[in-house]
Structure 1
Amino acid sequence: MPTAISPLILPVNFRADDFFAFHLRDRQNIAEIVENNVLRKGILWDNSPAQLIITIDQQMATIKLEVDDSSNIANDQKMIEIGKHMLGLQQAIEQFETQYLSHPIIGQLIQHQQGLRIYQSASAFEALVWAIIGQQISVTAAIAIRRRFIQATGSMHSSGIWCFPNEQQVAATDDDTLRQTGFSAGKIVAIRALCAAIIDKQIDLSVQINQNNHQELANQLLNLKGIGPWTVSYALLRGFNYLDGSLHGDVAVRRNLQPLLKMATQPTAKETEKWLTEFSPWRALVAAHLWRSQSAAGY
């Protein structure tokens, strides 16, 4: 089993507890296992089952990869990039905090949650699938569906951990199996359209997303049946490090915004959208701060 190890220095205010809380959402631990300061996650590495191990010790993260395929040698630079990606280190949150730490409304929130960043899914495809699964259902229900989905479509590493599937594996899974995992008819349509677009190279998920080109990918995704604005904004946030999606329709964002604005009733999606406009290009990061004010695992 080929193994590679790479070290990574972390920022002084890195919130390791939040990072591990994000990966502890599924207590059945089939695809992500957290033990003390170590995360083990099943991924596909060049289509081969692999176990990614991230260990955090003070200001140092160690990225270790164990690949089942003996001919698949891990590339150190690629490992470092996936480590930075998953740890959210490609986000310029220091700029955001400098700009808004003294803000009369969200300044105190930022001060209490300084260093907050968006921990990323291992791949953009995983982020998109999670966003589709999470459409209009609770996080608890989405976690259970995701678990069954991985077991029905994914593959297992020799360590026993499950690896999130790729688009080819999902495309090869029949509708009945997807229904049994908890997918609604609409979500099956959406994930079929997504997989087909990736396989046919109509959509390229390897592109680096920024303020200048995000709309092109967003439009491509919105053209797929079953994928709407919330799904796109959440997937861009969780899979592409894009921090300006407007998550004004998110129930938790609106619920946690109400006490912050001292409103008698929960703000509407339209009111929330208008309020978030001030914080562009950081709207999704502001939404994450609102999520975090409720729960470490809730963002």
Structure 2
Amino acid sequence: MWREAERMLIVPLPQPFRYAHNLDYLQRSTNECLYHIQDGAIYKLLPVAGQNVLIALETAADDTALHIRLIEPSEGAQSAETRAAIAHYVWAWFDLGTDLSPFYAMAARDPILEPVADSFHGLRLMGIPDLFEALSWGIIGQQINLPFAYTLKRRLVEQFGTSLTWEGRTFWAFPTPERIAALAPEDLTALQFTRSKADYLIGVAALMADGALSKEHLLSLRDYPQMEQTLLRIRGIGPWTANYVLMRCLRWPSAFPLADVGLHNALKHVLQRSEKPTLPEIRRMAEGWAGWEAYATFYLWRVLY
């Protein structure tokens, strides 16, 4: 899965893979607070093995491997456990364990997906490996536009997250469930969260802090309906948020945020229509995507920026 060479971690890349397409996705907002991209390298503060580690990630020239430099603390200060956790995080973040051949074979037969899959060949479904971050981002994004969602996330992270400063730039890690569970709703409404979203975030944080909810437990269910129903029983988690988390964190390929406005707008654009398709129409369009709805959705989102 990974090896060490020249004071860095090297993660071999499955093919097809295009770093440029994934980098474009990560640069979709100028208000992203959880990583910084400069000269083609991704700088990110990772909470792993009980500490925050700043990494710089870039690709080999031929897209055959990701090179991960451990910046702070330095590579020599990192344990084997920490290095393995970093490699595992990057592997999950870029969804490197998924064989995309069946998806591309399916897309080649689909008139909607074929041009999109061809345009962004090698794009991976960039994920959110941390369950609390994924759930929080899903809750934050409910019923607001994307720019304001990024603003709320930045306020949450910079108020309650942890940070590390290196060469004059501050890098942030997402708040822990324990930190958010200890808050009062007023701590979040002061940041312009609605009262309901404040309650939802604190409630999810409390479930995770108490051990009643975990990524490991959800993955152990090994069944999409069970995973979805478990998430839907959480206050503040509806079908859209549940499927968003299943798609981007739990990596369930059939996850399908059917009601997603971005998906509707993308289909309107690809189909060159004046109106967005209806939900029954989208269901019919998606009949041929069975088993790959998550990737189909992600690729369609890509046409919007």
Identical columns (%): 22
1:117 maps to 2:117:
no
Q: Is the Cα–Cα contact under 8 Å of residues 197 and 203 in structure 1 kept in the other structure?
A: yes
Q: Select the residue among 134, 147, 152 that pairs with 1:140.
A: 147
Indicate which of 79, 84, 97 corresponds to 2:86.
79
Which stretch shifts more, 135-144 or 16-25? 16-25
Q: Give the TM-score taking structure 2 as reference length.
A: 0.86
Residues in 1 aligned to 2:262 and 2:221: alpha-carbon distance in whole angstroms: 25
Q: Provide the secondary structure at the position in 2 that maps to 1:293.
A: helix
Q: 1:61 aligns with which of 52, 58, 66?
A: 66
More divergent stretch after superposition (104-113 vs 231-240): 104-113
Structure 1 SS opposite 2:212: coil
Distance in 1 between the 2:77 and 2:60 partners? 31
- For residue 67 of structure 2, give the secondary structure of its aligned residue in structure 1: strand
2:34–2:44 contact (8 Å) kept in structure 1: yes
Amino acid at match of 2:136: V
1:169-184 superposed matches below 5 A: 169-184=179-194
Identify the residue that residue 284 of structure 1 maps to in structure 2: 294
- Counting only pairs closer than 5 Å after superposition, residues 195-206 of structure 1 correspond to structure 2 as 195-206=205-216
Counterpart position of 2:256: 246
In the alignment, residue 153 of structure 1 is paired with which amino acid? Answer: F
Query: Which moved further from structure 2: 177-186 or 100-109?
Result: 100-109
CA contact (8 A) 1:124 1:205 kept: yes
1:191 match: secondary structure: helix
Of residues 101, 112, 134, the one that matches 1:127 is 134
Unpaired segments of 5 or more residues in structure 1?
none
Q: 1:214 to 1:102 in 2, by over 3 A?
A: closer
CA RMSD of aligned residues (A): 2.6
How many residue pairs are counted as aligned between the two chains? 292
Q: Could you give the per-residue CA deviations for residues 218-273 of structure 1, whole angstroms, max 9, x where no partner exists?
A: 21221111110100111121112222112221112112212444555311234323
Deviations 1:263-285 (A, max 9, x none): 55311234323432331111121
**Is the contact between residue 23 and residue 33 of structure 1 (CA under 8 Å) also seen in structure 2?**
no
One-letter amino acid of the structure 2 residue matched with residue 7 of structure 1: I
Distance 1:46 1:143 in 2: 27
- The 8 Å contact of residues 43 and 122 in structure 1, kept in 2 or not, is answered as no
TM-score normalised to structure 1 length: 0.87
- Corresponding position of 1:16: 19
Secondary structure, aligned partner of 1:292: helix
Q: Which runs of 5+ in 2 are unaligned?
A: 1-6
User: Aligned AA for 1:265?
Assistant: E
Shift of 1:155: 0.8
Which deviations, in whole Å up to 9, do the C-alpha atoms of 1:78-109 show, x marking residues without a partner?
22211111122122222210233132332222
Q: Is the 8 A contact 1:152 1:177 kept in 2?
A: no
Instruction: Work out whether residues 53 and 72 of structure 2, in 8 Å CA contact, stay in contact via their aligned partners in 1.
Output: yes
Whole-angstrom CA distance in 2 between matches of 1:236 and 1:118: 12
Task: Assess, with a 3 A threshold, how the Cα gap between structure 1 residues 13 and 137 changes in structure 2: closer, same or farther.
Answer: same
Output the CA distance in 1 between the equivalents of 2:212 and 2:226. 12
For residues 91 and 48 of structure 1, what CA distance do their matches in structure 2 show? 28
SS at match of 1:161: strand
Task: Name which of 21, 35, 39 aligns with 1:36.
Answer: 39
Deviation at 1:200, TM superposition (A): 2.3
Mapped pair 1:228 → 2:235: no
DSSP-derived class of the 2:57 partner: strand
